[in-house]
A and B are shown apart, each in its own frame.
Chain A
Amino acid sequence: MRINRRTLLGAAAAGALPLVTPLRGPRAQAGNTIRIGVLTDLSSLYTDLSGAGSVLGARMAVEDFNPAAKGFNVEIVSADHQNRADVGSTTARAWYDRDGVDAIVDLPNSAVVLAVNQITREKNKVMIVSTGATTDLTGPQCSPNAVHWTYDTYSQPAGTGRAMVAAGGDTWFFITADYAFGHSLEANTERFVTAAGGRVLGKVRHPFPGTDFSSFLLQAQSSRAKVIGLANAGGDFINCVKQAGEFGIVRRGQKLAGLLVFITDVHGLGLETAQGLTLTTAFYHDRNEQSRAFAARFHPRNRGIRPTMGHAGVYAGVLHYLKAVEAVGVQAAKSDGAAVVAAMKQMRTSDPLFGEGEIRQDGRKIHPMFLYEVKTPAESRGPWDYYKLIREIPPGDAWRPLADGNCPLVRT
Chain B
Amino acid sequence: MDTILGVPAVALYGQLMLGLINGAFYALLSLGLAVIFGMMNVINFTHGAQFMMGAFVAWMLLNWAGLGYWWALILAPLAVGATGVVIERLMISRLYRLDHLYGLLLTFGLALIIEGLFRNFFGSSGLPYRIPAELQGAMDLGFMFLPNYRGWVIVASAVVCLLTWFVIERTRLGAYLRAATERPMLVRAFGVNVPRMITLTYGFGVALAAFAGVLAAPIYSVNPNMGSSLIIVVFAVVVIGGMGSIAGSIVTGFGLGVIEGLTKVFWPEASNTVIFVIMAIVLLLRPAGLFGRA
Contact = CB atoms under 8 A, between A and B. Distances in A.
Interface of A: 43-49, 51, 178, 204-207, 209-212, 214-216, 218-219, 221-222, 234-235, 238-239, 242-243, 246-248, 252, 264-265, 267-270, 272-273, 303, 305
Contacts of A243: 219
8 contacts: A47-B125, A178-B269, A235-B126, A238-B126, A247-B145, A270-B128, A272-B128, A303-B121
Interface size band for B: 35 or more
Contacts of B264: 215-216
Contact of A272 (B15, B119, B130): B130
B126 to A, nearest CB: 5
Contacts of A221: 145
Contacts of B144: 218
A383 to B, nearest CB: 12
A215 B15 contact: yes
A47 B124 contact: yes
Contacts of A265: 125
Given A211-B230, A219-B11, A246-B149, A47 B123 contact: yes
A206 B220 contact: no
Contacts of B219: 242-243, 246
A211 B220 contact: yes
A44 B269 contact: no
Contacts of A209: 229
B82 interface: no
B221 A235 contact: yes
Contacts of A252: 145
B223 interface: yes
A303 B19 CA distance: 38
B138 interface: yes
B147 interface: yes
A268 B229 contact: no
B24 to A, nearest CB: 11
Interface in B134-175: 138, 144-145, 147, 149-150
Interface string B215-239: 0000111010110011000000000
Contact of A267 (B21, B125, B138, B265): B125
B195 interface: no
Given A207-B269, A267-B125, 13 more contacts: A43-B225, A47-B123, A48-B123, A51-B124, A211-B220, A216-B264, A221-B145, A222-B11, A234-B125, A246-B131, A248-B147, A269-B128, A272-B130
A243 B219 CA distance: 6
A218 B11 CA distance: 8
A189 B135 CA distance: 37
B132 interface: no
Closest 8 interchain pairs by CB?
A270-B128, A268-B125, A47-B124, A207-B272, A215-B264, A48-B125, A268-B126, A48-B123
Contact of B147 (A215, A238, A247, A270): A247
A45 B226 CA distance: 10
A47 B119 CA distance: 9
B22 A49 contact: no
A206 B123 CA distance: 24
Contacts of B68: none
Of the listed residues A209, A212, A222, A248, the one surrounded by the most CB atoms of chain B closer than 10 A to its CB is: A212
A246 B132 CA distance: 12
A216 B128 CA distance: 22
Contacts of B109: none
Contact of B225 (A178, A216, A218, A235): A235
Given A43-B119, A45-B225, A248-B138, A238 B125 contact: yes
Given A207-B272, A243-B219, A246-B150, A215 B261 contact: yes
A246 B130 CA distance: 10
A12 to B, nearest CB: 27
Nearest to A241: B221
B149 A44 contact: no
Contacts of A205: 268-269
A303 B121 CA distance: 8
A337 to B, nearest CB: 31
Contacts of A305: 123
Contacts of B220: 211-212, 239, 242
B33 to A, nearest CB: 18
A284 B223 CA distance: 24
Interface in B1-60: 8, 11, 14-15, 18-19, 21-22
A271 to B, nearest CB: 9
Contact of A204 (B8, B14, B268, B273): B268
B271 interface: yes
Contacts of A178: 268-269
Contacts of A238: 125-126, 221
B127 interface: yes
Contact of B14 (A218, A246, A264): A218
Interface in B75-123: 116, 119, 121, 123
B125 A264 contact: yes
Contacts of A211: 220, 226, 229-230
A207 B230 CA distance: 13
